[in-house]
Structure 1
Amino acid sequence: MECRVIGMWGGFPKKNGPCSGYLIQHDGFSLLIDCGSGVLTALQNYIDLNEIDHVILTHYHYDHFSDIGAYLFSRLVNTHLGKTKKELSVYGPEDDVVKKQVEDVAYSRFSSFNEKSQLEIGPFTCTFKRNIHPVETYSIKIECDCKSVVFTSDTSFTHDLIPFAANADLLITECSLYEGMDGAASGHMTSEQAGILAHQSNAKKVLLTHLPHYGNLTDLVVSAKKLGNPNIELAEPGMLIEI
């Protein structure tokens, strides 16, 4: 299993730096997790858009889903051009507006999930945990061949994240804020809280994501590592992790 970081900025993209998007692949099967601002353009550096038939959206903030509209029309046009015959399957929290947005465009369909869902998508088994965030948001665990990737998406720190991420081969944890800040109201984690999650979950490799547009980002890694897990680094666009 491989994970390619397409983008990892919080809020809005930087030049050549998209927001949330992660390409998970195994044995020729591809699954995209989140499709935030700037993701669709960058994604094409690594894969033809027609080779991805499944996209999971963790929630409906623009930095996590705004490019899905363009993806729908990509599938429409490329189907008419004979470049693909498969529907684009989009999964996300139940939302009538998003469902209509997806299914109003031919050759795409929407399926909802919640905390009790288990999705079997190609070789991947996907399960979910409801987060604390201003809109309905989920952490996701992707398992395949006894390996696991856990992506927290956006959330305040809660102790039930620890068993959800337990022994993850790759933990992609949000780290929107610096040590000493308070993310409770905004639904985000600090570097210290990301470090607690990394250490207490015993994650084998950890990427800090949803990064802030200010400050010295290396301070996030230093702060997180102090909690005990040395295998922590910043996510970067284009980074490939083999699991």
Structure 2
Amino acid sequence: MRCRVIGMWGGYPKENGPCSGYLIEQGNFSVLVDCGSGVLMEVQKYIDLNDINHVMLSHYHYDHSSDIGAYLFSRLVNTKIGRANEHLQIYGPNDEDIKRKVEEVEYSKFSSFNEKSEIHIGPFTFTFLRNIHPVETYSIKIESENSKIVYTSDTSYMKELIDFAEEADLLIVESSLYEDMDGSSSGHMNSKEAGLLASQSKAKKVILTHLPHYGDLENLLKSARNEGNENIDLATPGMLIEL
């Protein structure tokens, strides 16, 4: 299993730097996890859009989902001209408005999930943990054979994440804030909390994501590593992690 970071900025994209999007692959099978601003353009550097038939959305804030509308029309056009022959399957928290918007575009379908769901897509099994965030949001665990990726998406720190991410081969943990900032009211983690989760879960490799647009990002990294897990790096667009 391998993970390609397509984008990792919080809130809005930078020039040549999209918001949240992660391409998960095994063999020739691919799933896109989150599809925020700028992701749809950037992901085409690595794969044809018609070769991704499944998109998993952690929640519907724009920096995690805004490019999904363009994806629906990509599949519509490419099916009509014979370049795609499978429906685009979108998964996300239950939302009738989102379901309507997805399924009113031909050749796309929507399926919902919650904390009790277990979804099997190709070689992958997806399970979920409800987060602390202003809207319904989930951490996502992706397992295949002997490999495990855990993506926290957006959340305040909570102890339940430790068990959920236990001994993950790859932990993709949000670090929206610097150590001296409190994210509990906004539903985000700071770098110290991200490092604490990395250490307590005994994750084997960790990348910090959902990064802020201000300050020295190296301070995020230093703060997180100070909690005891040194196998932590900053996410960058195009980063490839092979498990």
- TM-score (norm: length of structure 1): 1.00
User: Does 2:212 match 1:204?
Assistant: no
Taking only aligned residues, the RMSD between alpha carbons, in angstroms, comes to 0.3
Give, as a single letter, the amino acid of the residue that structure 2 aligns with 1:159: K
Give, as a single letter, the amino acid of the residue that structure 2 aligns with 1:110: F
Equivalent residue for 1:223? 223
Shift of 1:47: 0.2
- TM-score (norm: length of structure 2): 1.00
Equivalent residue for 2:213? 213
**1:1-243 alignment to 2 at 5 Å?**
1-243=1-243
In 2, the alpha carbon distance for the partners of 1:201 and 1:233 equals 16
In 2, the alpha carbon distance for the partners of 1:114 and 1:47 equals 29
In 1, the alpha carbon distance for the partners of 2:115 and 2:91 equals 13
In 1, the alpha carbon distance for the partners of 2:228 and 2:94 equals 38
In 1, the alpha carbon distance for the partners of 2:165 and 2:180 equals 24
In 2, the alpha carbon distance for the partners of 1:162 and 1:74 equals 38
Shift of 1:148: 0.3
Give, as a single letter, the amino acid of the residue that structure 1 aligns with 2:168: A
In 1, the alpha carbon distance for the partners of 2:104 and 2:169 equals 38
In 1, the alpha carbon distance for the partners of 2:56 and 2:131 equals 16
Shift of 1:180: 1.5
Shift of 1:27: 1.2
Shift of 1:188: 0.1
Shift of 1:101: 0.5
In 2, the alpha carbon distance for the partners of 1:162 and 1:238 equals 27
- In structure 2, runs of 5+ residues without a counterpart are none
Shift of 1:61: 0.2
Shift of 1:146: 1.2
In 1, the alpha carbon distance for the partners of 2:47 and 2:146 equals 25
In 1, the alpha carbon distance for the partners of 2:196 and 2:176 equals 15
Give, as a single letter, the amino acid of the residue that structure 1 aligns with 2:52: I
In 2, the alpha carbon distance for the partners of 1:120 and 1:41 equals 27
- In structure 1, runs of 5+ residues without a counterpart are none
Shift of 1:70: 0.1
Deviations 1:106-165 (A, max 9, x none): 000000000000000000000000000000000000000111000000000001100000
